[in-house]
Amino acid sequence: MMATYLEFIQQNEERDGVRFSWNLWPSSRLEATRMVVPLACLLTPLKDRPDLPPVQYEPVFCSRPTCKAVLNPLCQVDYQAKLWACNFCFQRNQFPPSYAGISEVNQPAELMPQFSTIEYVVQRGPRSPLIFLYVVDTCLEEDDLQALKESLQMSLSLLPLEALVGLITFGRMVQVHELSCEGISKSYVFRGTKDLTAKQIQDMLGLSKPAMPMQQTRPAQPQEHPFVSSRFLQPIHKIDMTLTDLLGELQRDPWPVTQGKRPLRSTGVALSIAVGLLEGTFPNTGARIMLFTGGPPTQGPGLVVGDELKVPIRSWHDIEKDNARFMKKATKHYEMLANRAATNGHCIDIYACALDQTGLLEMKCCTNLTGGHMVMGDSFNTSLFKQTFQRIFSKDFNGDFRMAFGATLEVKTSRELKVSGAIGPCVSLNMKGPCVSENELGVGGTSQWKICGLDPTSTLGIYFEVVNQHNAPVPQGSRGAIQFVTQYQHSSTLKRIRVTTIARNWADVQSQLQLIEAAFDQEAAAVLMARLGVFRAESEEGPDVLRWLDRQLIRLCQKFGQYNKEDPTSFRLSDAFSLYPQFMFHLRRSPFLQVFNNSPDESSYYRHHFARQDLTQSLIMIQPILYSYSFHGPPEPVLLDSSSILADRILLMDTFFQIVIYLGETIAQWQKAGYQDMPEYENFKHLLQAPLDDAQEILQARFPMPRYVHTEHGGSQARFLLSKVNPSQTHNNLYAWGQETGAPILTDDVSLQVFMDHLKKLAVSSAC
Amino acid sequence: MPTWQKEWPRLERGGGTSWGDTTAPTTQIGTGSGAWEPKTLGTKANLDLEPGMSRAPPSSGAPPTSTAQASCGQAGYGQFGQGDIQNGPSSSTVPTPRLPGSQPFGSPLAPAVSQPAVLQPYGPPPTSAQVTAQLAGMQISGAMAPAPPPSGLGYGPPTSLASASGSFPNSGPYGSYPQGQAPPISQTQGHPGVQPPQRSAPPLASSFKPPASGGPRMPSMTGPLPPGQGFGGVPISHPNHVSSPLPQALPPGTQMTGPQGPLPPMHSPQQPGYQLQQNGSFGPGRGPQPNYGSPYPGAPTFGSQPGPPQPLPPKRLDPDAIPSPIQVIEDDRNNRASEPFVTGIRGQVPPLVTTNFLVKDQGNASPRYIRCTSYNIPCTSDMAKQAQVPLAAVIKPLARLPQEEASPYVVDHGESGPLRCNRCKAYMCPFMQFIEGGRRFQCCFCSCINDVPPQYFQHLDHTGRRVDAYDRPELSLGSYEFLATVDYCKNNKLPSPPAFIFMIDVSYNAIRTGLVRLLCEELKSLLDYLPREGAEESAIHVGFVTYNKVLHFYNVKSSLAQPQMMVVSDVADMFVPLLDGFLVNVSESRAVITSLLDQIPEIFADTRETETVFAPVIQAGMEALKAAECAGKLFLFHTSLPIAEAPGKLKNRDDRKLINTDKEKTLFQPQTGVYQTLAKECVAQGCCVDLFLFPNQYVDVATLSLVPQLTGGSVYKYACFQVENDQERFLSDLRRDVQKVVGFDAVMRVRTSTGIRAIDFFGGFYMSNTTDVELAGLDGDKTVTVEFKHDDRLNEESGALLQCALLYTSCAGQRRLRIHNLALNCCTQLADLYRNCETDTLINYMAKFAYRGVLNSPIKTVRDTLITQCAQILACYRKNCASPSSAGQLILPECMKLLPVYLNCVLKSDVLQPGAEVTTDDRAYVRQLVTSMDVAETNVFFYPRLLPLVRLRIGTKSPIESTTELPAVRASEERLSSGDIYLLENGLNLFLWVGASVQQGVVQSLFSVASFSQITSGLSVLPVLDNPLSKKVRGLIDSLRAQRARYMKLIVVKQEDKLEMLFKNFLVEDKSLSGGESYVDFLCHMHKEIRQLLS
């Protein structure tokens, strides 16, 4: 049974990019709420499907205006009458004329069960160009700026020739570079302190007047070029050289920065202008604003910290003490921008490379609401940034960019279900409808979301509510269905629609609890619950979130654990739930919920990625993976536990954000002694090399590129490992556990064992 | 110190001797004046009958009388001898040059005769004294009228002349006269009629030689024998005369002839004949005439003439008899050009500005730096009030000096800085008194006793002078500079070198006219000639901005391959988008700058943008300087009214209907307060703004020029600019403007010795308090006029001291103090005041005063104020200084005899009395220009120089090198001979007037065309021809231009051509089309005013 469910889950994930917390659905609202973990799924709308060639026609929609579901394999089809019945609203629809030849043996792909996920290519309509607007901070150190310039120049070669590019640079001023002119380079300059309205920006850039003299002189242009052109956004094939030179000549912000001051950085205005520019020129066209910044905004709207160095940038401590004077205003500014960008289908990336914070906390909404990337590094002159940035422009098996723009995700549910909300890189489109639940989880109150930028791994958590009443049981064997319709602008500039229709069986909780239990996907559930927790953490106090998570866990254990009341030792969980508490243990310690030792920027960064990665990556984030390398055998995954830290092992830990290679004490001594260089110890050399190779493999694949840490016993960077492992041995219980195994962790945190003991106690207690 | 020590010996020697010398001259002068004085008093108009008679005899009595008029003149001169240069010679000189010219047309004698006749009456006084100018006012003449007959022979000629003129007026009333005479007359008289006869005239003229005397007269000459015709022919001039004296008395008709009367005699021999006849005929006629009768009754107002019953029409004033600017200028040249002006003596009146002289600084500032209205100040304010002579100094702190004169020495006192009085903060100067063996010094301004710092101590010699006095400029010179210390710098930081920012309008108009292309091309080479102050390379940084309704800044950093343009469209809140790379060193960024200047015309070649902004442009330049922490200058090249939405946006508010209303002043006021505020900020930053305007229509110069005005900048206006026509002028101005040495971020303070105080300032600057003149920029052409008032008694003994201290940043970025000291005498006698005045300076002050007045008062009030003040000045003289004489006599102080004519020119100027073709912008422009003019400029501006050219060719053997030596003629149409060619210039305009009967050879050699008719009217360039005349004339034009701060565009005007109207506006002694009085009329007017005051 278990095996089948694992296979089923995996198969569904492969095919539809969907993982549900429950794969058998409780058939009544009441029972569903008692299941503790909500009915929800992780959806990867554009999951790579190399095996799924898109069909070159458009989908057939249900004719009921409130439904508009897409014809799918679950629909009942009357081949004689050339009718189909919508499986969501039961509307009977005529097939369009092009389906005249339809028959049981001549079915269109969308009716075949294996095409529960299908992608349509919309041929008509204007082709929108890809637009990349670079917004570059020039308040950088010389070598940083140089590295950034090189990266940007490199990126030009990666863009498709028809892509439109634009350049905005900022420091104390904001410069919008006009790319169309030849010879002399021209830019429009804005004061970095002034909050300009969209209208003002467009006026000043000469966008509001269609009769710009420059364009008037070339009336033929619009015809030549499929896209309406702007002086600031030009096809790369035209201005490749110009832009390369322009980037090459980019100077550090020339305004003097006196001792004890931060450079004046007008990030807020720069972003505002970028948004305004695209809004004025390419509304509702996929576009990517790429903000490269090397420090916090220090002036104008959106300022995060003043320019006095003696006043440090806000910390969590300040925020808790309500001492972050600019935070609310700045956040509001960036939220306004993010919403405008999202409305127009533009996504905003932030590449922040600095040793100190750069204001990601305030700016996070820009990326989070628009589906942009957030990359945080120490310097632009690091491989972390360079490779991550390069990876943005990687291509898939078809040679298309692994990025899509301006997507809308619509969710349709069968009558027993309603959608409560979504958590991920999206904004609500506020589409009310019959399948919208009143109970919101995440971003709710709508059946449609806008995802301005997404890639094949972008994953949303979507939460549902079973609305079927207990007293109106669903017929035995009937299934609930959900359809995800994702319309997006493919990087090939064509519009595409991907439709995924899934169905699951209803089950009666009372009679089929075990089946339901078996159909529990604890990994998906952990991630979905974690997303809820992180979502709450954005607006609630940390301890409250933890309490909420604990309560949910306890309730789940009470519900699905097997135990005798008041007897913790009797407590057992079935296999389907066995890992779940451990996930929760690590989640509680994770940087997504713990802000201790993290800056607000770091927290924002971690949460940003957590809210958009797919299940596998999310799980790694929750509970890092630890491999052990030794002479005792092949590399093996080991417990994320201090007991795994042994002197004669090399450990490789992947936390998603960091790859840590840790040499045990003995190994480190050996290495220092140089054994690896001796021919007779070649095996040692190999042993040392093995984790490096494996790490490299991970580094190659991951976006964003993780921080790579190579350390050893006693090394300062060993903290990365020590902070993650379950502190089964601490200075408190060291003697009890003996000295031979593992490494004690200097912490007061509870260990997994203690956590579990408490959990059991609480679960079996009747007090809860 | 070492620097000047080396050079000092030279000075010392010179100084030593000159001290000696100067004393000598003083005595001379003293004696001279002594000698003159009696004369002055003696001189007066002799025209009045009774008293005149009594006095007259000596002077007039003899020669004039019967001796043929011809001879009398000479005789007269003979009498006065060479001894007295003043009037005698002057009068003689005038005619003589003329003679050759007139010769062809008639006998030289005759004209001579007539003139002297006229002169004589005046002659005597002049000869005897400086006073010279006494005029028989018209009344006088009226009074005279009876006289002449009695005086009979003696006065005969003059009277006859006068009466002739007088009679003419009558001709009008005499309906019969014209009729009787002949049709031609009527024609000539009537204005419309004038032209036809003239046209017909030329052919006639050719047949007749006589025509020479002047086009208009021609007809009269030819046809009609009757005298009337002769006069009738000269309609042009009539307007003035008769009417003025007795307006009521003389109805329109009077106007007709007046001027001509005198003229004809001068030029043509024949005319006198007519005149006589006329006189004869008219003379009698008058008596009976009812017309005259009635007016005269009115005359009593004048009080004076009881006796001179009015039966006779007023007497014409002979223009040659009234004080002649040309004469005064010539005399001064002859007398004072040869000797250097040594400044060692207190209260010396310097030579006139028109005289070319050298200055030796021996303790007082050169008149090139400071000129005063009077060099002898009344000791008390009561006296000053009585005299009404404004006490003002026209200061040009950075005046350019001729090569022969050394620029001020720079004194470096090291860290201690210049030595100053502790109390009044005056700077060490030659007048400071060292006492107690040199350990202390007493301030010459406030009498405070100060310790001499040890490092400055020096022993005194037996006269009480420091023994090192001649080693130290600040102890022996009138002008010198101190190096300033950081205490004198903004923010206590030594200044950075200044910057020049070129801000170019690239709107449609600027592109279309080719301005932008021309300018960019020029700048490429011009940037090599930034002021460098002796250094190898100019320290000045440059920057570039173009604009229409947005601004484009350019990054021209040397490391760039191409310039970068940065557009700032946020004109409402202007800022500077870049720092590094905006202001650059020319030689380092040469390639990028050249590339930029090449590209600017291309970038905007297709522009359709017609709207411009203005205030934000200045704001941007100012912010750029602020960001660069330096002072500097903006060069703005602007074409149109800034109507784009931005601060300082203007609307077209030009309204000719406002002229002559109480609201007229608004035309001169800025439209908005934005520019005032902006100017203030500019001044605070040391940002000087030079504005080059290229308007096609109204641009509101009054508003646009406010910032340049308040920041010490210049405004240049090229209306309807076209590259072909105006290129030369614009480029020449631009070159000069860019290259000229400028002081930046300057503060000027004028300190005075106790008793007087600077209370008012005129010029291009800003003042935030009552004492400090703040100048964002100051160049060698800019002048500040300062007015003083008494606040206590002055002491005759100690005199009055002025010290003008100018703190500024040099072009090389050095902070300096320039000090000018001037000691003036003080007097208890009004006569001393009047004897030491300088009319040119007075006019400079009065013009500036009036031009500022128009901002706040109706123009009429301003004009009346001027006239009243002038009358008061003259009346005071008459009352207190002149010896008693008939009220009918107009007696002018010698030093002020030109005051009326010059004042009239001021009153007639475009600002105070605009002609129909003068635009509001023109007026505002001129108003602005005059505000910063020095004395020489106002002099020629208000009374243009009119140089006859052909005579020049014939009359002189060697080519005339210096134009200052050229004899000019008076600015009146009467003085123009149709056989001659004239150059007229006023510092802004330059005309070449070609007479209709100029010899063909002359036409050929100047214009390379066969005849007069083929000369292109309005030509602005003379062809370059290889013949002496052409070379000389072109050389003359070049040298005239070289003298002036602005390039004067040449306009060739042909006699009788349309353009002549324009030209005639500058003949300031004539009645102007806009209603300005002729010199003669004004003089009469003034006389009337004076008499009213006296009675």
Q: Verify whether the Cβ–Cβ distance B564 to A249 is below 8 Å.
A: yes
A421 touches A338 (CB < 8 A): no
B805 phi, psi to nearest 5 deg? -110, 125
Six-digit token string for A212: 């710009």
The helix or strand, by DSSP H or E, that contains position B11, with its residue range, turns out to be: helix B2-42
Q: For the stretch B809-818, what's the b/e string if a residue is b when 16 or more beta carbons lie within 10 angstroms of its beta carbon?
A: bbbbbbbbbb
What mean pLDDT do residues B984-996 have? 92
Least confident of A371-375, B536-540, B702-706, B818-822: B536-540
Q: Verify whether the Cβ–Cβ distance B573 to A194 is below 8 Å.
A: yes
Least confident of A201-215, A527-541, B969-983: A201-215
Nearest to B674 by CA among B694, B648, B652, B693: B648
* Partner residue facing B578 (CB), from A185, A206, A254: A254
Q: Is A768 inside any structural domain?
A: no
Domain region containing A164 = 131-207+230-392
Which pLDDT score is estimated for B265?
Answer: 36
Task: Quote the CA–CA distance of B597 and A693 in Å, as a whole number.
Answer: 59
- Please determine, for residue B537, whether its predicted confidence score (pLDDT) is greater than 50: yes
Q: Verify whether the Cβ–Cβ distance B567 to A217 is below 8 Å.
A: no
The C-alpha R_g of chain B, in whole angstroms, comes to 31
Which pLDDT score is estimated for A443?
Answer: 94
Greater pLDDT, B168 or A620: A620
Give the largest Cα separation in chain A, rounded. Answer: 86
Nearest to A345 by CA among A489, A246, A162: A489
Strands A164-170 and A479-489: unpaired
A266 touches A170 (CB < 8 A): yes
Put simply, whether A258 touches B (Cβ < 8 Å) is no
Q: Is A26 inside any structural domain?
A: yes
Which residues of chain A does B575 touch, with a Cβ-Cβ cutoff of 8 Å?
A: 173, 191
Which residues of chain A does B596 touch, with a Cβ-Cβ cutoff of 8 Å?
A: 184
- Please determine, for residue B202, whether its predicted confidence score (pLDDT) is greater than 90: no
Q: Is A101 inside any structural domain?
A: no
Judge if A22 and A149 occupy the same domain.
no
Six-digit token string for B645: 């939405």
Neighbours of B756 (CB within 10 A): 24
What mean pLDDT do residues B150-164 have? 35
Greater pLDDT, B400 or A737: B400
Q: Per residue in B632-645, pLDDT tens?
A: 999 999 999 999 99
- Please determine, for residue A156, whether its predicted confidence score (pLDDT) is greater than 70: yes
Q: Per residue in B567-613, pLDDT tens?
A: 998 898 888 888 888 999 999 999 999 999 999 999 999 999 999 99
Mean pLDDT of chain A: 89
pLDDT > 70 fraction of chain B, expressed in percent and rounded: 70
Confidence of residue B353 (pLDDT cuts 50, 70, 90): very high
- Please determine, for residue B100, whether its predicted confidence score (pLDDT) is greater than 70: no
The helix or strand, by DSSP H or E, that contains position A761, with its residue range, turns out to be: helix A752-764
Among A358, A392, A426, the domain boundary falls at A392
Task: Quote the CA–CA distance of A183 and A252 in Å, as a whole number.
Answer: 22
Judge if A489 and A377 occupy the same domain.
no
Which residues of chain A does B579 touch, with a Cβ-Cβ cutoff of 8 Å?
A: 254-256
Question: CA of B604 to nearest chain A CA: how many angstroms apart?
Answer: 10
Question: CA of A531 to nearest chain B CA: how many angstroms apart?
Answer: 45
Mutate to test the interface with A, among B511, B575, B600 (most CBs of A within 10 A): B575
Put simply, whether B133 touches A (Cβ < 8 Å) is no
Question: CA of B644 to nearest chain A CA: how many angstroms apart?
Answer: 13
Which pLDDT score is estimated for A607?
Answer: 94
Q: Which residue of B has its CA nearest to A204?
A: B569
The structure's pTM equals 0.78
Q: Verify whether the Cβ–Cβ distance B565 to A216 is below 8 Å.
A: no
Among A343, A364, A392, the domain boundary falls at A392
Least confident of A182-186, A303-307, B108-112: B108-112
Judge if A339 and A428 occupy the same domain.
no
* Partner residue facing A249 (CB), from B550, B560, B566: B560
Task: Quote the CA–CA distance of A717 and A711 in Å, as a whole number.
Answer: 6
Question: CA of B855 to nearest chain A CA: how many angstroms apart?
Answer: 38
Judge if A614 and A737 occupy the same domain.
yes
* Partner residue facing A190 (CB), from B561, B570, B579: B570
Which residues, listed in sequence order, are joined to residue B809 by a DSSP beta bridge?
B744, B815
Confidence of residue A306 (pLDDT cuts 50, 70, 90): very high
Question: CA of A262 to nearest chain B CA: how many angstroms apart?
Answer: 18
Q: Is A623 inside any structural domain?
A: yes
Q: Is A222 inside any structural domain?
A: no
Q: Which residue of A has its CA nearest to B562?
A: A184
Confidence of residue A411 (pLDDT cuts 50, 70, 90): very high
Judge if A447 and A583 occupy the same domain.
no
Q: Is A83 inside any structural domain?
A: no
Which residues of chain A does B608 touch, with a Cβ-Cβ cutoff of 8 Å?
A: 213, 216
Six-digit token string for B378: 């009344």
Greater pLDDT, B3 or B854: B854
Q: Which residue of A has its CA nearest to B580?
A: A254
Q: Per residue in A608-659, pLDDT tens?
A: 999 999 999 999 999 999 999 999 889 999 999 988 999 999 999 999 999 9
- Please determine, for residue A455, whether its predicted confidence score (pLDDT) is greater than 70: yes
Among A361, A392, A423, the domain boundary falls at A392
Question: CA of A230 to nearest chain B CA: how many angstroms apart?
Answer: 16
Say whether B194 sits in a helix, a strand or coil.
Answer: helix
Q: Verify whether the Cβ–Cβ distance A173 to B575 is below 8 Å.
A: yes
Task: Residue A138: give its domain's CATH number.
Answer: 3.40.50.410
- Please determine, for residue B977, whether its predicted confidence score (pLDDT) is greater than 80: yes
Q: Per residue in A242-286, pLDDT tens?
A: 899 889 888 898 888 999 999 999 999 999 999 999 998 888 888
- How many separate domains does chain A show? 3
Q: Is A119 inside any structural domain?
A: yes
What mean pLDDT do residues A26-43 have? 92
Confidence of residue A209 (pLDDT cuts 50, 70, 90): low
Q: Verify whether the Cβ–Cβ distance A189 to B577 is below 8 Å.
A: yes
Judge if A652 and A554 occupy the same domain.
yes
Task: Quote the CA–CA distance of B466 and B436 in Å, as a whole number.
Answer: 11
Q: Which residue of A has its CA nearest to B609?
A: A213
Question: CA of B618 to nearest chain A CA: how many angstroms apart?
Answer: 17
Q: How many CA atoms lie within 13 A of A547 on its CB side?
A: 5
> What's the angle, vertex CA B631, arms to CA B628 and CA B636, rounded to 5?
95
Which pLDDT score is estimated for A747?
Answer: 80
- Please determine, for residue B691, whether its predicted confidence score (pLDDT) is greater than 90: yes
Which residues of chain B does A249 touch, with a Cβ-Cβ cutoff of 8 Å?
A: 560-561, 564
Question: CA of B517 to nearest chain A CA: how many angstroms apart?
Answer: 17
Task: Quote the CA–CA distance of B800 and B208 in Å, as a whole number.
Answer: 64
- Please determine, for residue B466, whether its predicted confidence score (pLDDT) is greater than 60: yes
Which pLDDT score is estimated for B916?
Answer: 83
Task: Residue A634: give its domain's CATH number.
Answer: 3.40.20.10
Judge if A630 and A715 occupy the same domain.
yes
Indicate if the alpha-carbon torsion angle A226, A230, A235, A238 is positive or negative.
positive
Put simply, whether B572 touches A (Cβ < 8 Å) is no
Which residues of chain A does B560 touch, with a Cβ-Cβ cutoff of 8 Å?
A: 249
Judge if A380 and A410 occupy the same domain.
no
Task: Quote the CA–CA distance of B565 and B570 in Å, as a whole number.
Answer: 15
- The angle that helices A542-560 and A580-589 make with each other, rounded to 10 degrees, is 170
Judge if A311 and A248 occupy the same domain.
yes
Tell me how far CA of residue B694 lies from CA of B38, B512, B513, B689, in angstroms. 57, 12, 9, 16
Q: What is the 3-state secondary structure (H, E, C) of B800-867?
A: EEEEEEEEEECCCCCEEEEEEEEEEEEECCHHHHHHCECHHHHHHHHHHHHHHHCCCCCHHHHHHHHH
Least confident of A520-529, B960-969, B1006-1015: B960-969
Q: Verify whether the Cβ–Cβ distance A251 to B596 is below 8 Å.
A: no
The helix or strand, by DSSP H or E, that contains position A450, with its residue range, turns out to be: strand A448-454
Task: Quote the CA–CA distance of A166 and B243 in Å, as a whole number.
Answer: 79
What mean pLDDT do residues B47-61 have? 35
* Partner residue facing B577 (CB), from A173, A185, A194: A173
- Please determine, for residue A441, whether its predicted confidence score (pLDDT) is greater than 80: yes
Put simply, whether B569 touches A (Cβ < 8 Å) is yes
- Please determine, for residue A208, whether its predicted confidence score (pLDDT) is greater than 70: no
Q: Is A315 inside any structural domain?
A: yes
Mutate to test the interface with A, among B564, B610, B613 (most CBs of A within 10 A): B564
Which pLDDT score is estimated for A741?
Answer: 60
Neighbours of A125 (CB within 10 A): 8
Question: CA of A229 to nearest chain B CA: how many angstroms apart?
Answer: 19
B808 touches B632 (CB < 8 A): no
The helix or strand, by DSSP H or E, that contains position A528, with its residue range, turns out to be: helix A522-537
What mean pLDDT do residues A679-693 have? 92
Number of H helices, E strands in chain A: 24, 29
What mean pLDDT do residues A559-565 have? 91
Residue A348: burial class (beta carbons within 10 Å; 0-12, 13-18, 19+)? buried
Greater pLDDT, B140 or B552: B552
Q: Which residue of B has its CA nearest to A173?
A: B577
Q: Which residue of B has its CA nearest to A177?
A: B566
Confidence of residue A768 (pLDDT cuts 50, 70, 90): low
Which residues, listed in sequence order, are joined to residue B704 by a DSSP beta bridge?
none
Judge if A623 and A482 occupy the same domain.
no
Q: Per residue in B318-344, pLDDT tens?
A: 778 889 999 999 999 889 988 899 998
Mean pLDDT of chain B: 75
Task: Quote the CA–CA distance of B173 and B120 in Å, as a whole number.
Answer: 31
What mean pLDDT do residues A105-114 have? 90
Judge if A14 and A147 occupy the same domain.
no
A363 touches A298 (CB < 8 A): no
User: How much is the ipTM here?
Assistant: 0.84
B497 touches B813 (CB < 8 A): yes
Judge if A119 and A140 occupy the same domain.
no
Say whether B558 sits in a helix, a strand or coil.
Answer: coil
pLDDT > 90 fraction of chain B, expressed in percent and rounded: 51
Task: Residue A463: give its domain's CATH number.
Answer: 2.60.40.1670
Q: For the stretch B314-339, what's the b/e string if a residue is b when 16 or more beta carbons lie within 10 angstroms of its beta carbon?
A: bbbbbbbbbbbbbbbbbbbbeebbee
Least confident of A87-101, A753-767, B531-545, B943-957: B943-957
Six-digit token string for A487: 């319309």
Query: Which residues 420-479 on chain B approach chain A with CB closer than 8 angstroms?
Result: none
Greater pLDDT, B742 or B49: B742
